[in-house]
Amino acid sequence: MEKTLIILKPDAVQRRLLGKIIARFEEKGFQILGMKMTQISESLARKHYAPHEGKDFFEPLIRYTTSAPVVVMALKGKNAIEIVRKMMGATFGSKAEPGTIRGDYAVSNRFNLIHGSDSPASAEKEIGIFFKKEELFEYNLTDIQWVYDMSTGDII
Ligand code: CDP
Ligand code: MG
């Protein structure tokens, strides 16, 4: 099981798309471990996007990220990082395939609605940036044995 950090960026809040996007992840079978609305501070945004420091879009990206409230979520599921990235679609809204979140709802190459961690290392770092321990919940979902085949002892 993997964990991943999602940010529903300021445009997702402003365009009232939170429910639709969150529903996709719930319907897919992911478990929400933590979720909150927050306005990201400049220092937090710089820390979160540190891998992009120095690139030409870094400063506009920091302004965008901090411009208005966001919703952050920690999700859990098998191969969650890769599956969420697929569901998000390509970075540029203009290039993202229909059927993906960005492909269906975004046309901008910057205002692309959603962030998802790109590796287990960045997921761990990012969840640590946005959530305190007590804001993350470990609980059983009653339908988990219908989301995965767990009858063999593995999660299939
Ligand atoms: O979000 P994702 O991992 O798909 O893309 P990224 O390459 O990690 O870039 C982070 C964010 O920077 C993107 O989601 C865009 O909002 C923004 N960006 C931009 O404004 N201009 C670019 N040329 C590339 C990315
Ligand atoms: Mg990225």
From the CA of 138, how far away is ligand 1's center (Å)?
31
pLDDT at residue number 91 = 98
Set out the domains of the chain in order of their start, with CATH numbers. Answer: 2-138 (3.30.70.141)
Instruction: Supply angle C-alpha 86, 72, 102, rounded to 5.
Output: 35
Is 118 touching ligand 1 by the criterion CB < 6 Å?
yes
Query: Which atom of ligand 1 is least distant from the CA of 9?
Result: 16
Question: Other CB atoms closer than 10 Å to residue 73's CB: what's the count?
Answer: 24
Task: Answer yes or no: 115 catalytic.
Answer: yes
Per-chain mean pLDDT for the chain: 98
Note whether 35 and 6 are within 8 A (CB): no
pLDDT at residue number 104 = 98
Note whether 75 and 81 are within 8 A (CB): no
Q: In what order do the strands lie in the sheet with 31-38?
A: 31-38, 70-77, 2-8, 114-116
The 10s digit of each residue's pLDDT in 109-133 is 999 999 999 999 999 999 999 999 9
Ligand nearest to the CA of 63: 1
From the annotation, which residues make up the binding site for ATP? 9, 57, 85, 91, 102, 112
- Nearest protein CA to atom 2 of ligand 1, as residue: 91
pTM for this prediction? 0.98
